[in-house]
Homo-oligomer: A and B are copies of this chain.
Amino acid sequence: MQSTIHPHERLADWLSEDMARVSTLIRERMASRHAPRIPEVTAHLVEAGGKRIRPMLTLAAARLCGYEGEHHIRLAATVEFIHTATLLHDDVVDESAQRRGRPTANLLWDNKSSVLVGDYLFARAFQLMVATENMRVLDILSNASAVIAEGEVLQLTAAQNLATDESVYMQVIRGKTAALFSAATESGAVIAGASEASVAALFAYGEALGICFQIVDDYLDYGGAGDSIGKNLGDDFRERKLTLPVIRAVAQADAAERAFWERVIARGQQEAGDLEQAIDILKRHGTLESTRATARDWAQTARTALETLPDHPLRAMLADLADYVVARVN
C-alpha cells in the first residue's frame, strides 16, 4: 500500500520549490515589527513543523489544475496560518500537555499569548487571501472559518455529554478538521480557474481526506502506540471527548459499562486504570475495529472523488496520500 518513501514526502518533493516559497512567506508574515512576542510564540509551532499537509493540498490542487500564477503560494500560507491559529486557540482550550511532541505554547508562554497571537495569525491569513483579489476564494475561506469555529464550539458542548451521537460527531469533525482540508483543495482549484467539475472533485477529495484524517486521529487516541504521533494516548479520554469509538461503545453499553461511562466521561471522576478499562470495553464491542473500517471507507471516498480529474502525477500522489493517512491505523 505504501513504498518506503511516504506519499506526503513524494508530494513535498514534487512541490518542493513551491513549498520553499510558502515557508519564506510564512516567515515574513509571522514577523511583527512592534511585537516580538509574536514570532517567539509562533516559531515554536511553525518550526516544530508537522507535515504541512494542508498547504501541500492547496499547492497540489492548483498545480494539478494547471495553475502557473503566484496566488497559490499565498493561499497555501493562508491555510497554514489558519491551522496554526487554531492550534494556538486549541491549546488554551484543551489544556493539552503535548502537541507535536513538544510542550504546547501555553505552557511555554501563557493563555494570553496563545489567544492574541492566534488572533494575529488569523488576521495575517485574512490579509494574505485578500491579496489574491479573488472573491470566490474569499467566499470559500470565510465560510470555512465560520464552519471551523462552529465545529469547535459544538465540540465543547458535546464533550462530557453521553447523548452525543454519530451525526453530532460528524458535524464536529467536518467543522474542526474537514472544513479546512476541503477549503485548501477547493481554493487551489478555484485559483487555477479549474472547471466546476474539477472544483467539486477536489472539494470532495479534501473533505473526505479531512474526515478520514480526524477519524484516524480519534482511533489512535485509544488504539495507537502513544508517543510516535506526538500525542498522548488517552488525551481525548482525559478531556472527556465523545469520539467515534466511544460513541459506538456507549450505544452498546450494558448497565455496568453505562455506569462506567457516566462516571469517567459525564462526571469526569477518573481513576488510575480507567483508560485501560475503557480500551477493554472498546475492544469488547469491536468499536476500535469498526472505527478503522469507517476511516478506510472515507479514504476510499477520497480516492473515488479524484477519478473524474484529468490524469496527472499529482492525482496519483493525492490518491496514495489517502491510503497513507488510513495506513496509520493498519
Contacts and interface: CB of A to CB of B under 8 A. Distances in A.
Contact of A153 (B120, B124, B138): B120
Interface string A28-41: 00001011111000
A171 interface: yes
Interface string A100-139: 0000000000011101110110111011001001010011
A279 interface: no
Contacts of A142: 123, 126-127, 130
Contact of A154 (B35, B111, B145): B35
A136 to B, nearest CB: 10
A34 B123 contact: no
Interface residues of A, number: 42
Copies in the assembly, this chain: 2
Given A138-B138, A150-B120, A153-B35, A127 B143 contact: yes
B115 A157 contact: no
A89 B153 contact: no
Contacts of A150: 32, 34-35, 38, 120
A149 interface: yes
Contacts of A175: 34
A123 B111 contact: no
Nearest to A172: B34
Interface of A: 32, 34-38, 89, 92-93, 111-113, 115-117, 119-120, 122-124, 126-127, 130, 133, 135, 138-139, 142-143, 145-146, 148-154, 156-157, 171, 175
Q: Which 4 A-B pairs have the closest CB atoms?
A: A123-B145, A120-B149, A123-B146, A35-B153
